[in-house]
Amino acid sequence: MNEAGQMREDWNRRAIEDAHYYVAFGRHNQDEEEFQATAREMVYGLEYELRRFPKDANRRAWRALEIGCGPARLMRPLSRHFGEIHGVDVSDEMVRMARERLRDVPHAHVHLSAGADLRQFADESFDLVYSYAVFQHIPRKDVVLSYLREARRVLKTGGLLWFQVNGLPASDAPADTWSGVRFTADEILDFANRNDFQMYTLEGLNTQYMWTSLRKRPAGWSVELPLSPPPTSTRIRKIVNPHGTEPVVPSSGRFACASLWIDHLHPECGVNHVRVRMGDGWGFANYIAPPLPGGEQQMNVLLPEGVPTGLVPVRLEWLGRQMGPEAIMRVVPASPQVPRLITVADATDLLLGPLIRSGSLKVVMEELTNPADARILIDGRPARVSMVHWSCRRTPRLELVVPLDETIRPGSHILEVAARSQRYPPVHLQVV
């Protein structure tokens, strides 16, 4: 069986077994309301991206395409923004479910995908192409890149491409149709640069949910732009922490990110061609917001390692040219890391919380750099951690999977978690 055939067979089986779980993987046997609720955050994020289009755009003329639409979890709520919306999926069963969910949305259309292209669509035919929780399941990078190149082909010039990939560090385990390939930030930047995209966002670095938003520009766009220097009126008005409004930025840790509020940022400026000098190092620009009514724009920049505390000069460069005068950023020492217990839930059905059905539970902690510092007891007895998964090194956030042994019978149990000097309130587990 070829690779496309294997993808179709595996995802048909998953769709028949429990489509809601394999699409949203929060809990088995989700009802319709719960399933749709899992889409709200992504729908909001995509709706926010639509602000990048001109305010006077005719939305009735907009056309959107979702790659890997599944049972139309995102297509249905997003359909209200477009005159026409299409979805493709490799699974016959997912296509059937999507058509059923969209039966009362006449401008929504679902198609069976051949596996790595969008051959049924014409060039320059969509205003938005998007994909979420799809490419992380594809076992080969060339297939993902083929879809992305096809997405550029079918996008109108000026259209938006929004997609998510798995950005966790490379794994030694072979990729399959569930645990697919992983991409680095440099690979996504390289794709954007090679294919003449203006990049607005590259967030979730080194996590499973690294996503980017790109604007299609004409071929040769970035080569021509240096002939027209950025406006000298560009000015960094203020620098604050994006997690608050204070004009100070911690030197390291999860909050070591600066928001540059910029006047007169060139409309073609993207983070893939921006360099931000912070002291003696280079920050990593990863977000440019849509302009506010007054024209001011927010650019988020991750601080470089080793940036000193105190008043640090910040210089903005785009395509090798300095944009406006230097600004000053106030850097303060980072607060000490304090381990935090975030959630305790069933290891498979995460939405169940501490109702444990799968025989394993998952403990999620933040600001714990050494998993060995965590101590987990069930009914006063030490519990064994079978797997440690770093979901974000920057935060840092880790997940500890604890299997329940044969002594843990159905019923109520007490889970106790401690880390270094921190002890957390007991968690009441209900094992079924």
Please give the single-letter amino acid code of residue 180: G
Q: Are residues 250 and 368 in the same domain?
A: no
> What is the band of 370 on the pLDDT scale with cuts at 50, 70, 90?
very high
Q: What is the mean pLDDT of residues 161-186?
A: 93
Domain match, 192 and 242 both: no
Same-domain check for residues 131 and 203: yes
CA distance 157 to 177: 32
Amino acid 227: pLDDT: 47
280 and 231 within one domain: yes
Residues 264-301 pLDDT 10s = 999 999 999 999 999 999 999 999 999 998 889 999 99
Which of 384, 403, 337 is CA-nearest to residue 365? Answer: 337
Does the pLDDT of residue 45 top 80, yes or no?
yes
The whole-chain average pLDDT of the chain stands at 93
**Cα angle at 323 between 203 and 333, to 5 degrees?**
55
Q: Average the pLDDT over each of 68-82, 93-107, 316-330 and give the range with the smallest value.
A: 316-330
> Which of the listed residues 219, 247, 266 is the one where a domain comes to its end?
219
Q: Is the pLDDT of residue 225 over 70?
A: no
Which domain-ending residue is among 332, 352, 381?
A: 332
Nearest 10 degrees: CA dihedral of 29, 32, 34, 36? 130
Last-in-domain residue among 185, 219, 253: 219
Give the pLDDT band of residue 245 (cuts 50, 70, 90): confident
Question: Does 215 share its domain with 274?
Answer: no
**SS3 call for 352:** helix
Q: Which residues span the domain enclosing 397? A: 340-431
What are the strands, taking DSSP E only, across 333-383?
340-346, 355-356, 360-366, 374-378, 381-382
| Band (229; pLDDT cuts 50, 70, 90) | low
Distance CA 142, CA 180 (A): 12
Number of domains in the chain: 3
Return the pLDDT at 192: 97
The closest alpha carbon to 195, from 84, 267, 270, 251, belongs to 270
Residue keyed to tokens 């770093």: 390
Do 202 and 290 lie in one domain? The reply is: no
What SS3 state is found at 136?
helix
DSSP secondary structure string for all residues of 296-338: -EEEEEEPPTTPPSEEEEEEEEETTEE-S--EEEEEEPPPPP-
Residue 423 has pLDDT above 70, yes or no: yes
CATH number of the domain where residue 208 is located: 3.40.50.150
Q: How many Cα atoms occupy the beta-carbon half-sphere of 36 within 13 Å? A: 8
On whether both 173 and 258 belong to a single domain, the answer is no
The pLDDT score that the predictor gives to residue 26 is: 80
Please check whether residues 195 and 48 belong to one and the same domain. yes
Q: Which range is least confidently modeled, 13-27, 115-129, 217-231, 314-328?
A: 217-231
- In terms of domains, do 208 and 253 share one? no
What is the per-residue pLDDT for 1? 66
- For Cα atoms 255, 390, 187, give the angle at the middle one, nearest 5 degrees: 80
Percentage of residues in the chain having pLDDT higher than 70: 98
pLDDT in tens, 13-29: 999 999 999 998 888 88
Q: Would you say 50 and 115 are in contact if contact means Cβ atoms under 8 Å apart?
A: no
Specify the CATH number for the domain of residue 347. Answer: 2.60.40.10
323 with 405, same domain: the answer is no
Query: What's the whole-number mean pLDDT along residues 378-382?
Result: 96
Q: What is the pLDDT of residues 201-221, one digit of tens each?
A: 999 999 999 999 999 999 888
Average the pLDDT over 60-70 and give the result.
96
Which amino acid does the sequence have at 273? H
Q: Are residues 190 and 245 in the same domain?
A: no
Q: Mark whether 366 and 409 lie in a shared domain.
A: yes
Q: In this model, does residue 393 exceed pLDDT 70?
A: yes
- The answer on pLDDT for 198 being more than 70 is yes
pTM: 0.93
User: Among the residues of 25-61, which ranges form H helices?
Assistant: 32-37, 40-49
